[in-house]
Amino acid sequence: MILGPAARVALYYAPESDDPLAAAAAEWYAAHPGFTEVARGYGFHATLKPPMRLRAGCVWDDVLTAAHAIADSVPPFDLPPLAVDVPHGFLALRETRPSPALQGFADVCVAYADHLRAPPEPDELARRRRASLSLAEAANLARWGYPYVFASWFFHMTLTRRLNAAEEARLRPAAESHFAPALARPRRVAALSLFVQPAPGEVFTAIERVALRG
């Protein structure tokens, strides 16, 4: 695979294509287009290594090598039950109890793939710094190119844009009802998903799943 200089690569947790959760998310996005446009563009996922442009000289094979190194260090594990929550004003699926394995997976993805990352553009840094970051988040942004990693990371599978109180009161019960059947089944985290955005404004697409085998 050949990546252009403006392409971005992301390391995600995403459900298997035959997981009912994937179908439920696709139906939800289609039924609520005005609230889900940005989420649809990134693909249904939980971020592990945030979207990044590759530094000069890096190619897709380097991404695959890093992904396999991550997979070799992380064993499959059970995903805690998920529920609809409202972090930072938007609807998302979040874990219902802490998971050291999930946190460790995200931490490894950030650290093991960081050598591939091009530095953020100055306008991106400026935009993120306007978000009233904590000292820890500002330090993460400077070191890792993204504020919400390691202790500042939180698992979330985004369902909507930010909502006002009336929108939340209407959409949260709808989401809880819609996702309940899919969330009732247990699921295992058994793969790392690689997504690519070929150019700014285009959607992120799942390109490869690498099985965990640590």
In a domain, 137, yes or no: no
Residue 156 buriedness (CB in 10 A; 0-12 / 13-18 / 19+): buried
Residue 25: domain span = 8-121+152-211
In a domain, 139, yes or no: no
- Amino acid 125: pLDDT: 84
Q: What pLDDT tens digit does each residue of the chain (214 aa) get?
A: 899 999 999 999 999 999 999 999 999 999 999 999 999 999 999 999 999 999 999 999 999 999 999 999 999 999 999 999 999 999 999 999 999 999 999 999 999 999 999 998 888 888 888 778 999 999 999 999 999 999 999 999 999 999 999 999 999 999 999 999 999 999 999 999 999 999 999 999 999 999 999 9
In a domain, 133, yes or no: no
Q: Find out whether 180 and 69 touch, Cβ atoms under 8 Å.
A: no
In a domain, 3, yes or no: no
How many distinct structural domains can be found in the chain?
Answer: 1
The whole model's pTM is what? 0.95
Domain with residue 107: its CATH number is: 3.90.1140.10
In a domain, 146, yes or no: no
pLDDT digits (tens, 9 = 90+) for 90-132: 999 999 999 999 999 999 999 999 999 999 888 888 888 877 8
